Amino acid sequence: MVPGRMITFVKKLFSILGCILLISIFSVIIYQVKQPKALESITFFPIAPDTDFSSAETKIKLVDKDRILWRIHSALDKRAYLRQDAGFLFSNGRLIERLGNWKQNINTLTQEKKIPVKENMFLEAITFHYAELHEKGGQIFSAQALSQDSLYVIKEHPGIYISFHTPKTTEQNTWKDQLDDQTEQMLRYSWNKGIRHYGIHLKNYEAYPLNDFSQKAKEGFSGFTKENAAKMIGRLWEGLYKNYFLGITKQDGTKVASTGSTIPLILLAKDKTHLLVLTETANGESILLRQNLGTG
């Protein structure tokens, strides 16, 4: 090829490549505008009127003689812009593990984790199942559900454990009572310390440990409409995810790991304006979080 033609060919080639690059960049910009990036966060939106979870479950069981399997599963009855599940696993009243996952444009999420057993344990697992739905016209709704499970794990021989959800023998009843008492005493001491530290007037609140609050949510709260109860639960878990699941937010704004902290005590204001979340870090520091409800 002669030099003149070579120069012309190169110019045409770069011109074509430039057009392709420009089209590619333009396409990426359009895609990013049409597809906003999802965030790893739980945000309460009005509950979707025609969407629900077809299944939502949390299961704990003993496997391999000295390990427990913790499994979380949920399925929405339609695809969602964002699906997310966040779960806590407590042993003898303190957080030992978390499970969390989120995905876009799906309806089903499944997570599981195996955890070694090293002592007698009263296990309590609690999960918040969440979906964010984007409807035509720009409206955003959410769907939510709660599930939980509990399990007693007792050492039978070195390296070998037995488990039960409900005691079936006198010996199992004895172990259940012992673990229940130990856990309750520790939690009461921790919560009372925090209540005194922050000067909380209990007469103004209804108190529920997080596991009991989750169970109460299924039954309904006196004085709350179904809509306001859903809003309260959603706002609670929005705060728990940001300020507990992702790390405990201290009063100075810093974060510490929530592992080793006590089961949160939920203090629901009788005037229905707010709730408090009281817990204690692994190193014994009392933490108080406030969530406004806007339902009073």
H/E segment holding residue 113: strand 94-116
Higher pLDDT, 64 or 235: 235
> Worst-scoring range by mean pLDDT, 10-19, 113-122, 201-210?
10-19
Q: Residue 276: is its pLDDT beyond 90?
A: yes
Q: Residue 141: is its pLDDT beyond 90?
A: yes
Instruction: List the beta bridge partners of residue 164.
Output: 152
pLDDT on residue 8: 47
Rounded to a whole number of angstroms, the distance between the first and last alpha carbons of the chain is: 83
pLDDT on residue 94: 98
Contact between 162 and 154 under an 8 Å Cβ cutoff? The reply is yes
Q: Residue 219: is its pLDDT beyond 90?
A: no
> Worst-scoring range by mean pLDDT, 46-55, 104-113, 221-230, 279-288?
221-230
- Largest CA-CA distance found in the chain, in angstroms, rounded: 99
Average the pLDDT over 77-103 and give the result. 97
Q: Residue 201: is its pLDDT beyond 80?
A: yes
How much is the mean pLDDT over the chain? 87
Instruction: List the beta bridge partners of residue 124.
Output: 90, 150
Structural domains of the chain sorted by starting position, each given as residue range(s) with its CATH number in brackets: 53-164 (2.60.40), 170-292 (no CATH)
